[in-house]
């Protein structure tokens, strides 16, 4: 059984220590929970908590005027190990947290928590914070979605990107009416300014490559509905799924890619269908004028202001506001990876990660889920390989294939061990090595032609070779049998 161990420090500010603590500070405690995946499998979680008082430096940092300033001042004093958490318990009357807010989660791996009065109330609050900042039962179940029975997992949990060693991101500008619009977008500068900081942080999770393209005369394939009241064109929610397929045919095939491709499309509608707005399920306009498709990417409609004079010369020059566009695309990228704040309790205040796109604890959130998913993937791959090899009795396994299998098993065992020790980064690296080795073994060229060479193909190959030789032999045998029988029936001549 896989056990996820989270090192956690609970630091009490003076005046916040509950009166019913079981023993004086400092002391250690353990909280365990089991996450059921199916009837035969589960994942154990273990929070190793160290309760202590603040140091002088921490008290000085917590004397800041706002929670954001306190978070920035506390960061150099914290344990920055991936997967570790630090909770600062402040008095119930602390002015660091706004009214109605009980928990402030910073950009790094720490949170400010109101004391809550009693130890039981505080522990319940700490449990909520720890799950938000590390992993929840739903996030682990989503990572193991292939093993969760149907009906026990929410539809959204199956929409997140599967763990991969790499991802390819493609930004496309669609200009269906170049006679009316000359669109200029600084995609290189926008990628360097907005996307690169996010991908630099996500480089621990996977390798990323980015490219861009401009497609002319590429239409959505769905005719928008004209609305007389607003003098605009509308795309309803039920028509959005039909938008992707016609556009995807123009994007270029992703079949040659080794990794999943994420498509982000900026669509400038033709003059005859402007302005164009996207509606949600309730018929209200979407504020971002964009939508995303799970495990595929997102599309944003960028309307161009109509010229003041109807006699304005065409084509109109359009400068795209890349800050607004990239803000939408990065939000869609977060949704594709399952980083959403929708499940956060209302009394939680989460600090914006800024230009980096995701907080340190959100990176840990991804690493926890991807490590568990990688371990499950290796198990499935090696099991499938063993079952296939059992069906082929005369197969010869080369030494390099066997060594990849041994390496995959050793790496996945190392990942499980590292998880049980609370070493998230080392566990994730070991799980990636296990995935790489298992896939090398499964897709080894020396095995592929045997794995996809069933018995009916053997008959189809060998029958044309042996049938011409077998026919005269069988006819000769039949003739010999007939002559032998006839010879036995003839009476023996007596002289």
Domain annotation covers residue 460: no
Domain annotation covers residue 479: no
Domain annotation covers residue 101: yes
SS3 of 400, please? helix
Is pLDDT of 88 > 60?
Answer: yes
- The tens digit of pLDDT for each residue in 196-254 reads 999 999 999 999 999 999 999 888 888 899 888 888 999 998 888 888 888 888 887 56
Pairs from 121-126 (Cβ < 8 Å, separation ≥ 24)? 122/18, 122/89, 123/31, 126/10, 126/49, 126/87
Domain range for 223: 161-337
Q: Among candidates 262, 167, 254, 263, which has minimal Cα distance to 207?
A: 167
Domain annotation covers residue 420: yes
Tokens of residue 102, six digits: 């009980």
* One domain, residues 421 and 386: yes
| Mean predicted confidence (pLDDT) in 111-132 | 90
Other beta carbons within 10 angstroms of residue 79's beta carbon come to 13
Tokens of residue 219, six digits: 């239409």
* One domain, residues 77 and 138: yes
* One domain, residues 408 and 327: no
| Under 8 Å between Cβ of 343 and 91 | no
* One domain, residues 242 and 373: no
51: enclosing H helix or E strand: strand 42-53
* One domain, residues 312 and 381: no
Among the residue ranges 47-51, 314-318, 372-376, the one predicted with the least confidence is 314-318
| Mean predicted confidence (pLDDT) in 306-312 | 66
Domain annotation covers residue 476: no
Q: What is the pLDDT of residue 220?
A: 83
**Which residue, of 430, 451, 472, is where some domain finishes?**
451
* One domain, residues 94 and 199: no
* One domain, residues 259 and 369: no
* One domain, residues 107 and 176: no
**What's the whole-model pTM score?**
0.85
101, 107, 109, 112 alpha-carbon torsion, rounded to 10° = -20
* One domain, residues 137 and 166: no
SS3 of 305, please? coil
* One domain, residues 181 and 115: no
| Under 8 Å between Cβ of 178 and 216 | yes
* One domain, residues 101 and 165: no
Percentage of residues in the chain having pLDDT higher than 90: 53
Please list, residue by residue across 1-13, b when 16 or more beta carbons sit within 10 angstroms of its beta carbon and e when fewer do: ebbbbbbbbbbbb
* One domain, residues 333 and 391: no
Among the residue ranges 49-53, 159-163, 275-279, the one predicted with the least confidence is 159-163
When divided into structural domains, the chain yields a total of 3
Determine the Cα–Cα distance for residues 450 and 453; give it in Å rounded to an integer.
5
Domain annotation covers residue 347: no
> Is the dihedral angle over the CA atoms 112, 117, 118, 121 positive or is it negative?
negative
| Mean predicted confidence (pLDDT) in 306-330 | 84
């Amino acid at each position: 059984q896989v056990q996820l161990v989270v090192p956690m420090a609970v630091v009490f500010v003076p005046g916040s220590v509950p009166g019913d603590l079981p023993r004086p500070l400092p002391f250690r405690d353990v909280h365990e929970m089991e996450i059921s995946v199916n009837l035969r499998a589960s994942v154990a979680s273990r929070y190793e908590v160290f309760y202590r008082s603040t140091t002088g430096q921490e008290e000085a940092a917590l004397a800041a005027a706002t929670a954001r300033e306190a978070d920035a001042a506390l960061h150099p004093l914290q344990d920055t190990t991936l997967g570790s958490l630090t909770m600062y318990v402040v008095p119930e009357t602390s002015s660091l947290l706004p009214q109605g807010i009980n928990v402030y989660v910073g950009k790094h791996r720490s949170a400010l928590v109101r004391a809550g009065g009693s130890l039981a109330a505080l522990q319940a609050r700490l449990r909520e914070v720890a799950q938000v900042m590390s992993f929840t039962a739903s996030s682990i179940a989503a990572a193991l979605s292939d093993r969760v029975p149907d009906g026990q997992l929410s539809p959204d949990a199956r929409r997140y990107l599967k763990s991969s060693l790499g991802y390819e991101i493609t930004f496309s500008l669609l200009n269906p009416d170049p006679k009316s619009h000359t669109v200029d977008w600084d995609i290189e500068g926008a990628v360097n300014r907005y996307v690169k900081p996010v991908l630099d942080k996500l480089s621990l999770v996977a390798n990323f490559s980015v490219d861009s393209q401009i497609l002319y005369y590429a239409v959505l394939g769905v005719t928008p509905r004209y609305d007389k009241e607003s003098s605009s064109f509308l795309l309803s929610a039920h028509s959005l799924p039909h938008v992707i397929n016609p556009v995807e045919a123009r994007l270029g095939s992703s079949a040659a890619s080794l990794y999943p491709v994420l498509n982000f499309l900026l669509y400038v509608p033709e003059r005859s269908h402007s302005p164009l707005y996207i509606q949600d399920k309730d018929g209200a306009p979407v504020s971002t004028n964009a939508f995303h498709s799970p495990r595929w990417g997102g599309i944003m409609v960028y309307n161009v202001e109509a010229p003041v004079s109807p006699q304005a010369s065409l084509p109109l020059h359009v400068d795209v506001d890349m800050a607004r566009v990239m803000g939408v695309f990065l939000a869609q990228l977060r949704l594709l990876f399952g980083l959403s704040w929708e499940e956060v309790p209302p009394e939680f205040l989460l600090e914006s990660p800024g230009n980096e796109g995701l907080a340190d604890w959100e990176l840990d959130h991804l690493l926890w889920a991807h490590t568990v998913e990688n371990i499950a993937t290796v198990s499935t791959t090696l099991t499938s390989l063993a079952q296939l090899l059992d069906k082929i009795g005369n197969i010869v396994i080369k030494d390099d294939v066997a060594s990849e299998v041994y390496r995959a098993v050793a790496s996945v065992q190392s990942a499980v061990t590292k998880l049980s020790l609370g070493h998230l980064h080392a566990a994730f690296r070991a799980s990636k090595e296990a995935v790489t080795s298992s896939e090398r073994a499964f897709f080894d060229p020396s095995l592929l032609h045997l794995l996809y060479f069933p018995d009916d193909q053997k008959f189809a190959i060998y029958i044309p070779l042996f049938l011409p030789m077998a026919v005269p032999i069988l006819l000769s045998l039949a003739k010999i049998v007939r002559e032998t029988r006839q010879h036995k029936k003839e009476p023996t001549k007596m002289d």
